Structure 1
Amino acid sequence: MAETFWDRHYRGRAGWGGRANPLLVETAGPLAPGAALDLGCGTGGDTIWLARHGWHVTGVDVSGRAVEGVRAHAAGLGLADRVMTERHDLADSFPAGEFDLVSAQYFQTPLELDRAPILRTAAHALRPGGLLLIVDHGSIAPWSWNQDPDTHFPTPDEVAAELGLDPATWPVVRADTPRREATGPGGRTATVVDNVLIIRSVKDARPRTFGEGRLAKGAQ
């Protein structure tokens, strides 16, 4: 269901790449380039930005249309040696490898998805010193799918508690809710809130598992 939903969302997409998310730029900009994982890469704005700034990036999405579009766009920009894309339904599989940065930008969906085990797996995939950057919606924009005023947006502290990571191995280095001016479809602007959580891996973590011992799969 998830693959079908997102394939339909990206059907007929004319442009790939686009603007990188501002909190990804703010966080990754000062870092030395390394290996990055972009969870839910979508149209590839973050993936392409990271590659242009020297990172080797794995862009992951449940939509085959998305990963094919991002892969082709990266090749057209001469970035094929820095961008690899893989199709994963992250509820079932996770890309292999270790990363200096794992970015989960607005890794939220109108479909049912248990994020916590996915994000815990992402934390285990960090190299020592690596960062897990989680940016969630903290408010409803005029163009949001969900316009329910009673929606509860989990705070960064609530997300951290749900992950249940050992703070001695994965300390929280940022947990806040900054506001910014965002631009939506048709150029419409609004002030929105982002819920930002950054976790650092400070030493070698325990062997990585996903679910009940399922192996990473799904690379294309």
Structure 2
Amino acid sequence: MSHLITVLGLVALVLGQPAAPATDDAKLWAHYETWVATLPALPPGERVPVADRYAAQLATEGISKEEAARRFERINVLRRASSAREAVYWNASFKSGGGPDAPLQLLQEAVRHLKPGRAIEPGIGRGRNAIWLAGQGWDITGYDIAKDALTATQAAAAKAGVKVTTLEGNHDTFDFGTAQWDMILCAYCFMQADDPRWPVAFARALKPGGIVVFQSSVLTRRSVAELAAIWKDFHILRAEDLDAGMEQNDWAPSRTVPTARLVARKR
């Protein structure tokens, strides 16, 4: 264990940041997790940055703004340790109105001339896309690892007067089924378009002629030709490899890293 701590310390020095002791990290995360569990959800349409809400809580405990900012920055690192921690982080985000409000522009363009059918959205978030689809006559189901995302979706759907089916689930274990869906929508849901799992799983899950609508910031940049090769069992209707900053109207990561767009129909 002492060797591991030494290595972590060296890595932190290389990155220019001091390493936080494991015990401090454990206490920090436990405090954050307890706070998230009791954090009230904002009404649909309201938004306050999670960092601001957390800083306000820490201020009641005598913690300065500077220290609150440092702690939240560390939380952003710690959350990536597991899907359970990511769920806690996104619970706080969606309770606070995090994420864009407008439906994905690519989605709007992709379904413009389609007959509504059954759709599934992995990583549904606050339901901005699902609620819009339901309003267009689609039978839409979505899942998310964050329970509070599903609660936020249902509250927003009720306000909009539409029905959305929500399920708790994660990408690694969710069963998309066989020939069930007319559309699968992946919008900044921590799936990658170059992951070979998804063309196989989606081809099985889609009905004949069903489509995939996929947009996400990318970990590894792929050319349009490379994406087409990965999705070889689909007819590519649209594919784009966008430079960082070309997508300004959706999730913030696309402003600093490249973005992939894909619309593909099952052959």
CA RMSD of aligned residues (A): 3.2
Structure 1 unaligned segments of length 5 or more: list them: 139-150, 203-220
Contact between 1:134 and 1:198, CA under 8 Å: does it hold in 2? yes
Tell me, yes or no, if structure 1 residue 199 matches structure 2 residue 264: yes
- Mapped to 2, the partners of 1:57 and 1:190 lie a distance apart of 29
User: How far did residue 156 of structure 1 move?
Assistant: 4.1
Q: 1:84 aligns with which of 144, 165, 189?
A: 165
Aligned to 1:21: 104
- SS of residue matched to 2:248: strand
Contact between 2:90 and 2:149, CA under 8 Å: does it hold in 1? no
User: How far did residue 123 of structure 1 move?
Assistant: 2.4
User: How far did residue 66 of structure 1 move?
Assistant: 1.1
Aligned to 1:101: 183
Q: 2:223 aligns with which of 155, 165, 183?
A: 155
- Mapped to 1, the partners of 2:239 and 2:183 lie a distance apart of 17
Tell me, yes or no, if structure 1 residue 126 matches structure 2 residue 206: yes
Q: 1:73 aligns with which of 129, 147, 156?
A: 156
| Number of equivalenced pairs | 179
The structure richer in helix per residue is 2
The one-letter code sitting in structure 2 at the alignment partner of 1:123 is A
Q: What is the TM-score with the length of structure 2 in the denominator?
A: 0.57
Aligned to 1:171: 235
- Kindly name which structure, 1 or 2, has the bigger radius of gyration based on alpha carbons: 2
Tell me, yes or no, if structure 1 residue 32 matches structure 2 residue 115: yes
- SS of residue matched to 1:195: strand
Decide whether aligned partners of structure 1 residues 75 and 184 sit closer, same or farther in structure 2, where only a CA change above 3 A counts. closer
Decide whether aligned partners of structure 1 residues 46 and 3 sit closer, same or farther in structure 2, where only a CA change above 3 A counts. farther
- Residue deviations 1:31-76 (CA, integer Å, cap 9, x gap): 1111111121112111111111111100121212212221232123
Which runs of 4 or more aligned residues in structure 1 lie more than 3 Å from their structure 2 counterparts after TM superposition?
A: 14-17, 159-163, 177-181, 189-194
- SS of residue matched to 1:182: coil
Contact between 1:156 and 1:196, CA under 8 Å: does it hold in 2? no
The one-letter code sitting in structure 2 at the alignment partner of 1:6 is A
Decide whether aligned partners of structure 1 residues 178 and 54 sit closer, same or farther in structure 2, where only a CA change above 3 A counts. farther
